[in-house]
Every structure is written in C-alpha cells, then in structure tokens.
Amino acid sequence: MKLITRFTSFLQECKRVFTITKKPSKTEFIAIVKVTGIGIALIGLLGFIITILFQMIL
C-alpha cells in the first residue's frame, strides 16, 4: 500500500510541475543558449589551460 501511495503522490507532483512550467519566449531561449555556450567555452578553456600547464611541467 505504501508503494501505491508514494507513486500516486509522485504523479500528482509531476502534474503540478507540468501545469506550472511554460515554454520560454524567443529572447529567454536566446539568453539561455548564450549563457550555456559561454559556460561550456569557459570550462573547455580551463581544461585546455590545465592540460598545457601539465605538459609544460612534465
């Protein structure tokens, strides 16, 4: 019984989340893409710099 109540509670929470969420506007989507791209580029640059430093040390 406890499993069934947990499952129904989970389904109710999923329904609540889906009713609250909305599709982003074009400007919001472009801002999200820019921020994500900058973050990926910075992490890649940091990894590249670390790799170069280790190659110079060893």
Residue 34: inside a domain: yes
pTM: 0.62
Residue 12 in any domain: the answer is: no
DSSP state of 1: -
Task: Give the residue numbers spanning the domain of 43.
Answer: 24-58
The rounded Cα 46 to chain-centroid distance in angstroms is: 19
Annotate 25-53 with DSSP letters as a single string. Answer: PHHHHHHHHHHHHHHHHHHHHHHHHHHHH
What does the pLDDT look like over 1-58, one tens digit per residue? 688 899 999 999 999 999 999 889 999 999 999 999 999 999 999 999 999 999 998 8
Residue 28 lies in a domain: yes
Asked, for residue 45, whether it belongs to a domain, the answer is yes
Quick check: is 37 in a domain? yes
Whether residue 3 is contained in a domain is answered as no
- If one counts the domains in the chain, the total is 1
Check residue 58 and give its pLDDT: 81
Contact 32, 24 (CB under 8 A): yes
